[in-house]
Structure 1
Amino acid sequence: MYANDGFRELDRWECRALLVTVSVGRIVYTRQALPAVLPVNFCLDRDGTVVVRTSVSSELASAIDGAVVAFEADEVAAAAHSGWSVVALGPATLVTDPVEHARLLRTGPRSWAPAPWEVFVRIAQELVTGRRLVGGRTLDGVHPSS
């Protein structure tokens, strides 16, 4: 990355602080040997893992359990030409412990599309990267500091 490209790399702690400010992200996983991207609502658990709630019979739950996935969340201010993006890579696992499942029912994300039987998927953040766009361009294409 070039020093003047308008982006600033974020460290792991900045990424985590930004992730707690939004509730929708995307999971990138493999479906029938092809990349698939699915928007999901989520929360960060107390250990920093991403937690998603979905139907036990969903394609997502069966496709990502035990797989390494990418999780991405961002926030964009189009009018200001600014924003940030965080990507976390790591294994996804279904929460099977009954005590942990009960805790997540109270503290975890609320499902936007409730199902009769829901599970929680935990995504470990083994590799986290992020960047923030600073000093974007105006509508006429001129950099604000010019």
Structure 2
Amino acid sequence: MIGDESFVQLDEAECWEFLRSHEFGRMAYHLVEEVHIAPVNYAVDHDTLLFRTAEGSKLLGVVMNPDVAFEVDEYDDRQAVSVIIRGVARKLEEDEEHRAENVPLRPWVKSLKYNVVEVRPTEISGRRFPLAKPWTHMRPDPE
């Protein structure tokens, strides 16, 4: 809702703290004339995000058009937090790939992912906001 002051804007340090405490997000990228979004496990390396990927659409997308957006969020019954990065992605060169060995970054799936991609933010923003979720009484009880 426009003008809703019920959220708290996170400063840049709080955004980085949140990103360092997580390891899973979603990256939006361009591939030809389409926008795609993909789940990505990542790690923070100083003021950038790193992730590993195999040959495929994510890698092709960032090579063809490096403008990306990256979102990491969490929620519970009381509140939600969301951090969004807009930035530039690039495949690291062979002599730079060692950076991925210095952070807790390992593939979550068994496929081989030799390519390391860096996302360098041009803009970072985050919000924390309370949740009302008045419809939860309408959900069936989990068994």
Task: Please tell me the TM-score bracket, short chain as reference.
Answer: 0.7 to 0.9
Contact 1:26 1:71 in 2 (8 A): yes
The residue aligned with 2:56 is 58
The residue aligned with 2:141 is none
Contact 1:86 1:131 in 2 (8 A): yes
Contact 2:31 2:60 in 1 (8 A): no
Unpaired runs of at least 5, structure 2? 137-143
* 1:106 Cα deviation after fit: 4.6
The residue aligned with 2:6 is 6
* 1:125 Cα deviation after fit: 1.0
Contact 1:25 1:74 in 2 (8 A): yes
Question: Structure 1 140/118 Cα, relative in aligned 2: closer, same or farther at 3 Å?
Answer: closer
* 1:10 Cα deviation after fit: 1.0
- CA–CA separation in structure 2 for the residues paired with 1:119 and 1:58: 10
Name which of 104, 110, 126 aligns with 2:106: 110
Question: Structure 1 54/108 Cα, relative in aligned 2: closer, same or farther at 3 Å?
Answer: farther
Question: Structure 1 76/29 Cα, relative in aligned 2: closer, same or farther at 3 Å?
Answer: same
Query: What is the letter of the counterpart of residue 133 of structure 1?
Result: F
Provide TM-score, normalisation by structure 1: 0.81
The residue aligned with 2:91 is 94
User: Which runs of 4 or more aligned residues in structure 1 lie more than 4 Å from their structure 2 counterparts after TM superposition?
Assistant: none
Question: Structure 1 140/88 Cα, relative in aligned 2: closer, same or farther at 3 Å?
Answer: closer
Question: Structure 1 115/140 Cα, relative in aligned 2: closer, same or farther at 3 Å?
Answer: closer
User: Sequence identity, in percent?
Assistant: 25
Unpaired runs of at least 5, structure 1? 142-146
- CA–CA separation in structure 2 for the residues paired with 1:85 and 1:109: 21
